[in-house]
Amino acid sequence: MWFCYALNISQYKIKHSNNSYLKKQYLCFDNINNVGSVKKIIIVRHAKSSWVDYSLSDFDRPLDKRGIHDAPVMAERLRDEGHIPQLIFTSSAIRAKSTSAFFAQTFGVKAEETKSLYHGEPDDYLEILTRLPEEVNCVALFGHNPGITFIANLIKPGCADNIPTCGIIVAEMPGTSWEKADWSSMHLVRILFPKENKHD
């Protein structure tokens, strides 16, 4: 039920937004019931975190000044390139949740916390993807290295030595259902970096 609620709220906000770009995206949402369409997967590494307070656990480290700057900038860049997530899942670690919050605000989508994404393995990401309802055509997941760099190279071997903080993988999975999601069936569309955009 919460999937449908999130989708309805997102569509309403986009349709009635003052942002002309987002309003144009409503046409995409209006066709989300097309199960056979391309599925888009967005994977984001958390923005740069602070190491100032050594009393904090790894889980509780917040974003630093650069991370707070990069996260909203990258969210806007993703939006401007037309990659519009309908659902957002995030690691429950503070730095990942804080990063996802900027994206959630940009896209008008609530970020759902998922403990398995805290230093998650590729299979942890796949488990989320394979359980998505078919009306969802674009999803964003927020997590950590080394898993995210590993995923990038599962999608396209040799494509990246390291996905930096707030780096974004955009991939597509054509003409299939979420339950059949597999890294080898995906196509790498783009890798976005905070300092420069690169695509293969």
Q: What does the pLDDT read at residue 18?
A: 55
Is residue 13 predicted with pLDDT exceeding 70? no
Q: What does the pLDDT read at residue 53?
A: 82
Q: What does the pLDDT read at residue 37?
A: 79
Q: What does the pLDDT read at residue 193?
A: 95
Q: What does the pLDDT read at residue 196?
A: 65
Q: What does the pLDDT read at residue 11?
A: 47
Q: What does the pLDDT read at residue 199?
A: 43
Q: What does the pLDDT read at residue 20?
A: 46
Instruction: Report the distance separating Cα 59 and Cα 150, nearest Å.
Output: 21
3-state secondary structure 161-190: CCCCCCCEEEEEECCCCHHHCCHHHCEEEE
Distance set, CA 17 to CA 30, 115, 130, 154 (Å) = 15, 32, 31, 37
Q: What does the pLDDT read at residue 36?
A: 52
Helix orientation angle between 122-129 and 147-155, rounded to the nearest 10 degrees? 70
Residue 41 has phi, psi (to 5 degrees) of -120, 125
pLDDT digits (tens, 9 = 90+) for 34-62: 445 799 999 999 999 998 888 899 899 99
CB 164 within 8 A of CB 157: no
Helix (H) or strand (E) holding 41: strand 39-45
**Does domain 34-198 fall into CATH 3.40.50.720?**
no
Q: What does the pLDDT read at residue 158?
A: 97
Question: What average pLDDT does range 104-127 have in this prediction?
Answer: 97
Q: What does the pLDDT read at residue 119?
A: 93
